[in-house]
Amino acid sequence: MPSGQPSPPTTGGPPTSATANAVLGLLSFGRELSGYDLKKWADHSLQLFFWSPAMSQIYTELQRLESLGLVTSRLEEKADARPRRLYAITDDGRTWLSHWLASEPVDLPMLKNAMVLRVWLGDLMDPDTLTAMVREHRDRLQARLERTREDRRTITGWASMAHAEVVIRWAERYYAAEVENSDLLLEDLAALETPG
Amino acid sequence: MPSGQPSPPTTGGPPTSATANAVLGLLSFGRELSGYDLKKWADHSLQLFFWSPAMSQIYTELQRLESLGLVTSRLEEKADARPRRLYAITDDGRTWLSHWLASEPVDLPMLKNAMVLRVWLGDLMDPDTLTAMVREHRDRLQARLERTREDRRTITGWASMAHAEVVIRWAERYYAAEVENSDLLLEDLAALETPG
């Protein structure tokens, strides 16, 4: 493996795709993970504030990152199960990721909220259909909030996960505020239907 | 212009692209708008909860929507200025948009927060750089909150904008919660640096 600062690889496409960095980020916590582990963990972490790549995207990215020397893998053989491939980040991968984190501009959050889009165009919708959509949306945010609370209880106090814990606390407040905001939105919509 | 329910157009690509629907949505409020007006209004409305298409995308979409009969345009001549093209939604455009709003599944919001991603990977970053990034991010959210407050004061009470007003009230609460959440995140990061 080449040592020192890797120059930005120029073959196989740019490694700065969001999926590549997501995979490297998940591996940077230091454990060996299978593609399945990566997907599962992405669903409980990245999903809350970024996005969880599809399983097929993860496998494609792992192969590409390995060919670039940013990730390494080994086959784990077990007597009682099918062998599985485990991936780990290399020193070059870690250096690359640190470089990307410090140099890439931090844009304002990109938010695409299809529910709010519908409220905005509410004149074109049946009021009851709209209210039902907002209620369903609110309940899904509530479900996500509850799962986030459970996940926080799981990782609280793991020293190696200090930054992940700070983020999950952020996510818990974020989804709690989203639920509250949806409730107030429902009140505003009800008031539109009964003008005083 | 054909009357009645338009069948989903099959030429010129699908009209359900996010940009196409954004442009139709902006025109659905009933005014004739130029491409420049559309961009300006998108920056003050759609931007808060979805995303604001680029000017070039808006012009491309307007041409396509016009060829599909969902939008119509006329050249406005003025004695003291260059003529400009004004666009309006057609009945078919309105029907199409209503159909899309009621039939498209409402996904959970897609959130890509590059700042939180950095906190999550904070072990790979210099703590002072990370704190400075979060502070800058917090200040940009605060600026957006203040602009949203001004915009709300502008449209409050316009009967034709009742749903847009409900959304801007939602956005004001959303960005206020984001600023507060960033402040608490900064406290958590400071606590990581001074373990008790």
Q: Which residue of chain B comes nearest to A104, CA vs CA?
A: B114
Indicate the residue of A102, A162, A181 with minimum beta-carbon distance to B129.
A102
Q: Which residue of chain B comes nearest to A21, CA vs CA?
A: B117
| Strand extents, DSSP E, chain B | 71-78, 81-89, 110-112
Q: How many angstroms separate the Cα of A136 from the Cα of each of A44, A133, B107? A: 21, 5, 11
Model confidence pLDDT, tens digit, residues A104-162: 888 888 888 989 999 999 999 999 999 999 999 999 999 999 999 999 988 877 777 89
Please state, rounded to an integer, the average pLDDT across all residues of chain A.
88
User: Which of A19, A31, A121 is the best substitution to test chain B (most B C-beta atoms within 10 A)?
Assistant: A121
- pLDDT at position B16: 65
CA distance A192 to B190: 44
Q: Which residue of chain A comes nearest to B109, CA vs CA?
A: A113
Crossing angle of helices A162-193 and B162-193, rounded to 10°: 160
Confidence at B3, pLDDT banded by 50, 70, 90: very low
- Residue A134: which residues within 8 A CB-CB, separation 6 or more? A115, A118, A119, A182, A185, A186, A189
Indicate the residue of B94, B97, B124 with minimum beta-carbon distance to A28.
B124
User: Which of A117, A156, A161, A179 is the best substitution to test chain B (most B C-beta atoms within 10 A)?
Assistant: A117
- pLDDT at position B181: 97
CA distance A74 to A86: 6
CA distance B56 to B59: 5
Which B residues, 53 through 92, put their C-beta within 8 Å of a C-beta on chain A? none
More confident residue, A182 or A158: A182
| Cβ contact B62:B35 at 8 Å | yes
Q: Are B163 and A49 a contacting pair at CB < 8 A? A: no
Q: Return the amino acid letter for A78.
A: K
Model confidence pLDDT, tens digit, residues A76-109: 988 888 899 999 999 999 999 999 888 888 888 8
Indicate the residue of B50, B111, B133 with minimum beta-carbon distance to A117.
B50
CA distance A56 to A120: 35
Model confidence pLDDT, tens digit, residues B140-166: 999 999 999 999 988 877 777 899 999
Confidence at A62, pLDDT banded by 50, 70, 90: very high
Q: What is the pTM of this model?
A: 0.86
Rg (CA), chain A: 21
